[in-house]
A = this chain, B = another copy of it.
Amino acid sequence: MSADDEQRLARVALTWLAEPGTRAVHRLVDRHGPAATLDLLLDGGSPDGWLHSTVAARTAAGDARAVAAEALERADRLGARLVTPDDEEWPAQVAVLANLHLPDVTRRVDVETAPPLCFWVRGSWPLGEALDRSVAVVGARAATGYGQHVATELGYGLAERDWTVVSGGAFGIDAAAHRGALNAGGLTVAVLACGLDRPYPMGNAALFDRVADTGLLVSEWPPGAEPLRPRFLIRNRVIAAGTRGTVLVEASARSGATQTARRAIYTNRVAMVVPGPVTSAMSVGAHDFLREFPKARLVTGLAHVLEEVGRIGADLAPLTRGPQRPADALDDDARSLLEALPRRGAMGVDRLAARAGVDVRTALRKLSLLEELSMVVRRDGGYALIPPSRPKRTTAATTSGST
């Protein structure tokens, strides 16, 4: 097995040992890399008591490396591939999750929101490219006809204007958004909370097949993984962080979909909310969200959504992509740091500051900004460049699979 394959296998094994998002695991991987982290955890060297018991419980049930190898084989048979941060198609923007800190949290799923270690992907689009220009449309499963109508229209309109429609594949709003995008002949991505061989819910099986045919089915969990309840919430951080913004269409009080919008707020994405009749229980969560978060934007249709997501990044025009880049808006120090970064690999802050000719304090501040803009990523104890996404998509056939 090559060193690269060993690292990839280790990511899969780690995801099996502890649920995606576990901060302690992410910190170890950040410092030592996946393979060394796996060794460390399997040797009982977890720095965290809770993680220690979780790992012990899992290893009592099976051999982590063997499970991972089997998952990779199973994915192969399924026509799915593993995507890791070392792959060109990795969606770099999910790195923002390293800095996601939700306030007033009481549940583990609200604390363990670290970036994913890997994705399983079915479909021919490169994952990063599919998510580069994407909007999430999420909402209630028990949606009303009104909500489904709005979600379908939004999915259709966004797809028609070359935006990828991301959702969670659930009944109701999610399914309506995917369908809208598919009907427009556009690109849609379903981010699941279980193995790609058993997409949940079963009732959407035909929809999932259509999504995989022309878009992507994505999951952090290996083939065979069950759609356990907490996983939906773990998954939601990826929908929020992987897109430019999240549109909440309908949500009852305390709905899971409002949690996705909440994660969008705290990862500095745009959280957009479609209002509804105050007499509808399915709009209570949406209205509560608008009242609670002044940063959330009320949107009533496609034009408003385009206006909001167009503000972020290089693209302001609704139909075509301009030549402008986020770098155009940076100040001199930030631009110097960006130019000082090596084309490949990471570099420590001290050396970077020296190369750029700025002091270390300024360097740290500007690098945080660049990280927020998804232009650099913290890695291997330093910072690395995130290559700008390709300016124009070509057809699926010529850019497909890189695993």
Report which A residues bind B (CB closer than 8 A): 146, 149-150, 274-279, 283-284, 287, 290-291, 294, 297-298, 300-301, 304
Contacts and interface: CB of A to CB of B under 8 A. Distances in A.
Closest 9 CB pairs of A and B: A275-B275, A278-B300, A287-B300, A290-B298, A277-B277, A291-B298, A146-B277, A274-B278, A276-B277
Nearest to A150: B278
Which of A279, A298, A300 gathers the greatest number of chain B CB atoms within 10 Å?
Answer: A300
A140 to B, nearest CB: 15
A291 B276 contact: no
Contacts of A283: 275
A166 to B, nearest CB: 21
A146 B279 CA distance: 8
Nearest to A300: B278
A291 B304 contact: yes
A277 B274 CA distance: 9
Contacts of A277: 146, 276-277
A367 B153 CA distance: 54
Given A275-B275, A291-B297, 16 more contacts: A146-B277, A146-B279, A150-B279, A275-B276, A275-B278, A275-B287, A275-B298, A276-B278, A277-B277, A278-B300, A278-B301, A287-B298, A291-B298, A291-B304, A294-B294, A298-B298
A207 B294 CA distance: 39
Contacts of A304: 291
Nearest to A278: B300
Contacts of A291: 297-298, 304
Contacts of A274: 278
A309 to B, nearest CB: 15
A211 B301 CA distance: 40
Contacts of A284: 300
Contacts of A146: 277, 279
A368 to B, nearest CB: 27
A42 to B, nearest CB: 52
A277 B150 CA distance: 10
Nearest to A284: B300
14 contacts: A146-B277, A146-B279, A149-B279, A150-B278, A274-B278, A275-B283, A275-B290, A276-B277, A276-B278, A277-B277, A291-B297, A291-B298, A294-B294, A298-B298
A275 B149 CA distance: 18
Contacts of A150: 278-279
Nearest to A275: B275
A144 B346 CA distance: 61
A277 B284 CA distance: 13
Contacts of A287: 275, 298, 300
A52 B197 CA distance: 84
Nearest to A249: B278
A234 to B, nearest CB: 30
A139 to B, nearest CB: 13
A392 B20 CA distance: 61
A150 B146 CA distance: 19
A241 to B, nearest CB: 25
Nearest to A144: B277
A276 to B, nearest CB: 6
Contacts of A290: 275, 290, 298
Contacts of A279: 146, 149-150
A279 B276 CA distance: 9
Which of A146, A277, A284, A301 gathers the greatest number of chain B CB atoms within 10 Å?
Answer: A277
